[in-house]
Amino acid sequence: MDAVGNHLIVELYGCNSTIINDEKRIEEILVQSANIANVHIINSTFHQFNPQGISGVLVIAESHFSIHTWPEYSYCALDIFTCGNVFNIDKSLDFIKNAIQSTSISVTELKRGVKNFLQ
């Protein structure tokens, strides 16, 4: 089905707790993953929580990447929302998984705004 948006809902388990509690590292990883996907970053915002955890968002010309990390659970919730032709999401996601040393991943792909049913 043709849709305006493609949304990956990604659960990343067994991550390296030190890496996913490092704001600068998480930002670098997301920016590099966006470069691998060949998407265009418009703006970004990252925040380190106390005592732990990071939230980060890249707004891209093609929609957004977001990540929320729970170092205490070695878990990250990642969303990759794209529109238009984005061809290297698999490589981008593989890069993130390896960079945060996740041992287990779940990916659900959603179509957003199925065109047949839009006005």
Active-site residue list? 63, 68, 83
Residue 109 contacts residue 5 (beta carbons within 8 Å): no
Residue 108 contacts residue 9 (beta carbons within 8 Å): yes
The minimum distance between CB 114 and a second copy, in angstroms, equals: 9
Residue 119 makes contact with a second copy by CB under 8 A: yes
Residue 64 makes contact with a second copy by CB under 8 A: yes
Residue 55 makes contact with a second copy by CB under 8 A: yes
Of 4 and 91, which CB lies nearer to a second copy in the complex structure?
4
Residue 106 contacts residue 11 (beta carbons within 8 Å): yes
